[in-house]
Amino acid sequence: MASRGYAVPGFAAQPPARDGKQQGKRLRLKVPREAHAAFELPADRPSVVGSVEESNAGRLPELTPIRTGRMAASPFAFLRGSAGLMACDLAATPTSGVTAQLCGDAHAANFGLYGDARGRLVMDINDFDETVPGPWEWDLKRLAASLVLAGRQAGADESACRQAAGDAAGAYRRTLRVLARMPALDAWHAVPDAELVTFADAHELTEVLRSVAAKALRNTSAKFAAKSTTRTADGRWRFVPAPPVLREVTDQQALAVASALAGYRDTVSEDLHPLLARYHVHDVAFRVVGTGSVGTRSYVVLLLDHREEPLVLQVKEARPSALLPHLARAGYPPQGPAGHEGRRVVLGQQRMQVVSDLLMGWTTVDGLPYQVRQFRNRKGSVDPAALPPGQLDDYGRLAGALLARAHAHTADAAVLAGYCGRGEELDSAVAAFAVVYADRTEADHAQLVAAVRRGRLAAEPGV
């Protein structure tokens, strides 16, 4: 009997090629791994003040001084708030041509713990506001540069900072080699958390992760609601304002956000609809979010079940990715027409994580796109800028392994592994780039601080 093969939409059109490793090696002829050490400022790079002002467009103007104040706190904080400026810089750097779903903001503080559907902790990338398909090198270089800046802030010497950046690239490279040898389904679910520390050779982080995990298990909707809500005279539960971070909204705003949850419901799996039907919406408040997102519209919604046990949802404005204007310049045009930005964030997160929040979805409020997710879903994170110098390289290896696994969901691990290779050429090049870019970020941060002192930019520190 003749062998059979079928072309089925959504599946491989023909048997997958087995020469991915060789394909990756051939890419080195176009872009040698050593080339990734290079960095030169683009001729059309905006000024630091101009880039901050441009990124503030469309944000709530009364909150942008908080964002500026947070970015001015340190060079590492500046990097965290300037994903668009770094994308502008990266657009002129060499890339191998392999596309992956990017986090878009893969700095070292955007990896952490969170709860799965059964409350067990997993570790992965945990911020996807900028997610978009693009060159995998951008995420890796942002991670490496952030490790250098975090190490400098923590007082580590230059050798330790460079080592952490190189170790992140090395763990990325080695993880891809492991994934490339696995069956597709096994690779998809790879790097289980119980084995992650051993896999990444990050044993010195064991106690740190144990402490973070203990705090994360207590970081729940119930704890936030107990601290941030009160029962009023009419028996209803309401958020207690704590300005400027948590504040009341008008009845009209609250109604608009609450009503938008009907549209959100349609974006989550149908099997969860009976679960959502067991909750009643009690209140809505505005809550300021992290450095990169300060000034965007973001709400917390209090829902209670029949036992008055709380579930808090975050309804957060989803702006276009800051990377998007720079991808076309780098030869990575947008894939498909522009769609709902909340959907982009949610699908990008689901494509990169092994386990995602089951209640993630998206909706539209007053004509603007939003993402919806659980708030305080047992989230916990390591502050890389507070790690002892001897633990920074362990953390770099941990993050590098997670990033590789995330990229391998949408890029061929064999091709990437073939390009990255067995030797340390890529590690050294990425580390060299990271040091140079960290120097650049420190200079940018100094310009921001000077602009604040001159009164050119308003900043509200310590919020």
Shared domain for 284 and 407, answered yes or no, is no
Shared domain for 252 and 195, answered yes or no, is no
* Model confidence at 368: pLDDT above 80: yes
Instruction: Give me the domain span that covers residue 356.
Output: 220-323+336-377
Residue with tokens 């939003």: 370
Report d(CA 445, CA 43) in Å as an integer: 19
- Within a domain: residue 4? no
Shared domain for 159 and 104, answered yes or no, is yes
Shared domain for 225 and 204, answered yes or no, is no
Instruction: Report how many domains make up the chain.
Output: 2
Shared domain for 106 and 173, answered yes or no, is yes
pLDDT at position 2, please?
55
pLDDT at position 197, please?
67
Mean pLDDT of 345-364: 95
pLDDT at position 234, please?
87
* Model confidence at 290: pLDDT above 60: yes
The secondary structure of residue 230, as a DSSP letter, is E
Q: What is the chain's length?
A: 463
Mean pLDDT of 401-417: 96
pLDDT at position 337, please?
63
* Model confidence at 203: pLDDT above 90: no
Mean pLDDT of 296-315: 96
- Within a domain: residue 7? no
Shared domain for 204 and 314, answered yes or no, is no
pLDDT at position 117, please?
80
Shared domain for 245 and 341, answered yes or no, is yes
Shared domain for 345 and 287, answered yes or no, is yes
Axis crossing angle, helix 158-180 with helix 389-407, rounded to the nearest 10: 30
Shared domain for 294 and 348, answered yes or no, is yes
Shared domain for 232 and 167, answered yes or no, is no
**Could you report the per-residue pLDDT of 59-98, keeping only the tens digit for each?**
999 999 999 999 999 999 999 999 999 999 999 999 999 9
Q: CA 150 from chain center: how many Å?
A: 17
- For 362, the token pair is 């998206």
pLDDT at position 363, please?
98
For the entire predicted model, the pTM comes to 0.95
Mean pLDDT of 162-189: 94
Confidence of residue 437 (pLDDT cuts 50, 70, 90): very high
**Could you report the per-residue pLDDT of 248-269, keeping only the tens digit for each?**
999 999 999 999 999 999 999 9
Are 311 and 377 in contact by the 8 Å Cβ rule? The answer is no
Mean pLDDT of 363-382: 94
% the chain with pLDDT above 90: 78
Give ∠ CA 96-102-107 in degrees, rounded to 5.
105
Shared domain for 177 and 308, answered yes or no, is no
Mean pLDDT of 103-122: 90
Mean pLDDT of 141-161: 97
Query: Which of 6-15, 211-220, 318-327 has the lowest average pLDDT?
Result: 6-15
Shared domain for 266 and 306, answered yes or no, is yes
Residue with tokens 């084995």: 195
* Model confidence at 100: pLDDT above 90: yes
- Within a domain: residue 14? no
Of 183, 171, 110, nearest to 430 by C-alpha is 171
* Model confidence at 300: pLDDT above 60: yes
Query: Which of 14-18, 140-144, 346-350, 381-385 has the lowest average pLDDT?
Result: 14-18
Sign of CA dihedral 326, 328, 331, 337: positive
pLDDT at position 200, please?
77
% the chain with pLDDT above 70: 97
- Within a domain: residue 460? no
pLDDT at position 193, please?
61
pLDDT at position 336, please?
64
Of 211, 215, 206, 216, nearest to 391 by C-alpha is 206
Confidence of residue 202 (pLDDT cuts 50, 70, 90): confident
- For 259, the token pair is 């009503």
Of 253, 286, 263, nearest to 363 by C-alpha is 263
Report the mean per-residue pLDDT for the chain.
93
Mean pLDDT of 209-223: 89
- Within a domain: residue 8? no
* Backbone torsions φ then ψ of 240, nearest 5 degrees: -95, 120
- Within a domain: residue 9? no
Separation of first and last alpha carbons in the chain: 72
pLDDT at position 177, please?
93
- Within a domain: residue 12? no
